[in-house]
Structure 1
């Protein structure tokens, strides 16, 4: 039986974590997470079946004038005859193999996985006693989340998951505006329930407020995931910062942290915007980052494509170098990269996705010693090119050059990553010049040797402009890693 609201509250009253921000501020970022640096996010569900535009198909197919609306009618017929629910029998996942997924992710160098357990559409990708609309009872008739948990354990990767149900309060509502299969009366347990009018989804006080019935159902669904799958991290999309969610979110967070304390595994919650009080979880920046290193640990989540989180036939893929530059930049500024890939409807991965993941893994196999387990150096970066701070900045396609460097520290060494070597055979690390503008030493240590990762020792010298290092260009002009060994 699902854990009841009364049981959740009783456990939280016993502690050690209670359902308030002051108590939840006892939270500490798991050590493994700060060492991992790189994880894989996956968006896979019913919304993948049409392979059209993006993962918001379930909402947009009911909005008259939207491309999804017209595409749906041309491809499947009118929404009253073929609605979103009718994709369920088509979602058979015949090629899904959790062990193959984890093999691919591990070869890419990922240290943790973050499959979406339930997206805004309300279809659960796991076994549930709270709704029949789940992958165990319908569609593939498999506990997708459970299989991925087992595969991650076998592969030695950390298992995490995300819940995006908060937005389901309004996500299917446009289907009520014309003759479709989204119609009243809707009651708890119905797939489309409650389909309330869509608000300004950035308004923290928008009405109608989610009801107690809806919020308690949201809470129980998350607790069911915690109880059954014991994820090491949870992630929530943006709408949980709505005022109505606050007491329920605090109950969930306390319950999760208490269960982790009870069972002996560290836990953490990744949140966007200000969905949690600062210091009670892990700050997450969607498709963006920070311009400078932060004293707190954080994560960015972004996708392998610029225009969708799920697989479609029109993906605008990022290059391997663009993703590697994002990873290096984030790590140098005290963060992790959570990279999303979208499986095809049958559960396999497209050729381009696999090639990109393989390229990342190959680079990390050579350069990972300055990434995994590293910390920001006293100087995070040099060079003129830098991301603008905030969300939704990673599609700007910044033009990095050979003077754009990012630094990390690990194993007693300093690592300098040249983001775009541009076929240069000699680069300058300005942070190692002898004196700054005040005529004071910038770096005043003893260097025993300098290495190019994957190549070996290289020639170097300290000059007026900085440390001049001889390097060998890499295939496809991948970022170059330089290890500065100190005595």
Structure 2
């Protein structure tokens, strides 16, 4: 009875702890702090989800997960689960992305103004897009047709191509691995996204998984050149005492202590890559150097480093005839995020042949034309109160220069006068409209500021947004 009472008390204490929001833990390593400061200057990045699943045009990995959620449905429906898994894993036998052209991707990203990238080296399904020695389920395995191509180690090719364009490198890596038998042991069927055996009963198997993960990350940190960000996904893999109310909802079975040993992984990774930013996504603690709201933009500035990761189209992975967001919305998202002090990580999913949709290139080209004129209002800025007033967003350089960025609706003509409140320039302050020659005058109008734009600006077909520099 005493032991039962103690267990109940411990579980009750854990439940209370799990519902508390873990505060942001500031990094102490000076090299990492310096890199984080630089990262917050980059503002705009590219993400790519790519794997064998692109051949079916389905959601990445999740159809393997035996949970009844909207994003885990299997297509075609009605196939028994075990048969589906076999068919899914057999996709490796036909994966041959012969149109793979990372140099074109990197050039398009650079022209769009992207300063960093994050590439999926391995997603939850466990298929490795790099030449790992820890698993045969990889793109360089003999059974994969593309393994005969000299560019078979696509992670290396991607990293080198983007690095050549001056773009900083981020390695996405899934902590859970649904293909390795030290995480999903074939002896038991998987019940949900989590480890499918009792860790306390089989601790040696879990230690094997810890070592497997450590070894794979070390391969990425030692064999793929300079890496700036280690972007870890699969936040349900975490110590038991680090769970939150949200993460407990990811368990159909009782939560387990899925401690992957982040202290050892981080120490090793930074030994090889000094100053490495580590993002242990959603695990609020010392190894989450910045936070990553997914497919959403916070309502107000956050008091810690953050990045909105969002799809350019409707899906993270390749879907035939996917619908892409209008350029106007993408740029408005970027301005909104920057005004709130965040970074924007925009995802494009390559297709099964290794090519992007043509639409992705067109969007990036239009974004790049806008950034070429207005990038000064984006890069190297921080949030400044009140960050937004109606259709005007604000950003501030470290030297105190402020930008007022007016968001143009689709098809809206540039108004001759832009009005905003919340930012009051000092008397005699000079203003200019980025990309336009001509005098910009302004005056106070009660609590507001009225900015009169030059006639030359009204004759131009300016789109998306315009930035007023307040010196």
Q: TM-score range by the shorter chain?
A: 0.7 to 0.9
Counterpart CA distance in 2 for 1:303 and 1:368 is 21
The structure 2 residue matched to 1:79, chosen from 74, 77, 83, is 83
2:298 to 285, 290, 294: 290
Q: Once superposed, what is the RMSD of the aligned Cα atoms? A: 3.4
The counterpart of 2:47, out of the listed 41, 47, 67, is 41
CA distance in 1, matches of 2:303, 2:183: 44
Determine if contact 1:453/1:482 at 8 Å carries over to the other structure: yes
Is 1:427 equivalent to 2:415 in the alignment?
no
Helix, strand or coil for the counterpart of 2:405? Answer: strand
Q: How far is the alpha carbon of 1:64 from its aligned partner?
A: 12
Residue among 464, 468, 471 paired with 1:478 = 464
Deviation by residue 1:75-104 (Cα, 9 ceiling, x = unmatched) = xx9936961121112210100022111111
Q: Counterpart in 2 of 1:233?
A: 229
Give the 3 Å change call, closer, same or farther, for CA 65–350 of structure 1 in structure 2.
closer
Does structure 2 conserve the Cα–Cα contact (< 8 Å) formed by 1:459 and 1:470? yes
Q: Deviations over 1:192-220 (max 9, x none)?
A: 8687533476xxx9974482222321222
Paired residue for 1:268, among 270, 277, 283?
A: 277
Q: Which residue of the other structure, out of 405, 410, 424, is the alignment partner of 2:393? A: 405
Query: Is the Cα contact below 8 Å between 1:452 and 1:480 reproduced in 2?
Result: yes
Residue in structure 1 matched with residue 202 of structure 2 by the alignment? none
User: Are the counterparts in 1 of residues 442 and 452 from structure 2 also a CA contact under 8 Å?
Assistant: no
Answer whether contact 1:117 1:145 (CA < 8 A) is retained.
Answer: yes
Q: 1:62 to 1:22 in 2, by over 3 A?
A: closer
Instruction: Answer yes or no: is the 8 Å Cα contact 1:330–1:337 preserved in 2.
Output: yes
- Equivalents in 2 of 1:231, 1:457: separation in Å? 44
SS in 1 for 2:333: helix
Matched with 1:103 is: 107
> Counterparts of 2:215 and 2:182 in 1: how far apart (Å)?
13
Matches within 5 A, 1:144-293: 144-166=154-176, 168=177, 171=178, 187=181, 197-199=190-192, 208-209=198-199, 211-229=206-224, 230-237=226-233, 238-243=235-240, 244-246=257-259, 248-261=261-274, 266-277=275-286, 281-293=289-301
Looking at structure 2, the residues matched to 144 and 107 of structure 1 have their Cα atoms a distance apart, in angstroms, of 22
SS of 2:117 mapped into structure 1: strand
Q: Give the CA deviation at 1:477.
A: 3.7
SS, match of residue 293 in structure 2: strand
Within 1, Cα distance between the matches of 2:265 and 2:309?
Answer: 22
Residues paired across the two proteins, number = 408
- Write the deviation string for residues 256-312 of structure 1: whole angstroms up to 9, x where unpaired: 223233xxxx3101233234337x612222122332223322211111123x10110
1:23 and 1:62 map into 2 onto residues whose CA distance is 35
| 2:116 counterpart residue number | 112
Find the counterpart in structure 1 of residue 386 from structure 2.
379
8 Å Cα contact 1:92-1:140 kept in structure 2: yes
SS at match of 1:416: strand
Supply the distance in 2 between the matched residues of 1:349 and 1:479 (Cα, whole angstroms).
Answer: 27
Please name the residue that 1:359 is paired with.
366
Q: Could you tell me which residue of structure 2 aligns to residue 182 of structure 1? A: none
| 1:455, distance to aligned residue in structure 2 (A) | 1.4
- Deviation string 1:298-332 (CA, Å, 9 cap, x unpaired) is 211111123x1011025232111111111112212
Tell me which residue corresponds to 2:375.
368
- Check if 1:55 corresponds to 2:37: no
Paired position in structure 2 for 1:304? 312
How many angstroms apart in 2 are the aligned matches of 1:458 and 1:376? 27
Report the secondary structure of 1:282's partner residue.
coil
Q: Which of 229-238 and 62-71 deviates more? A: 62-71
Equivalent in the alignment of 1:10? none
Is this contact kept in 2: 1:241–1:275, CA < 8 A? no
Residues 73 and 79, structure 1, Cα contact 8 Å, conserved in 2: no
Kindly state the Cα deviation for residue 63 of structure 1 after the two structures are TM-superposed. 7.5
1:386 is aligned to none
Q: Distance in 1 between matches of 2:168 and 2:71?
A: 39
CA distance in 2 between partners of 1:444 and 1:41 (Å):
41
Is the contact made by 1:431 and 1:443 (CA closer than 8 Å) also made in structure 2? no
Please name the residue that 1:3 is paired with: none
Moved more, 115-124 or 84-93: 84-93
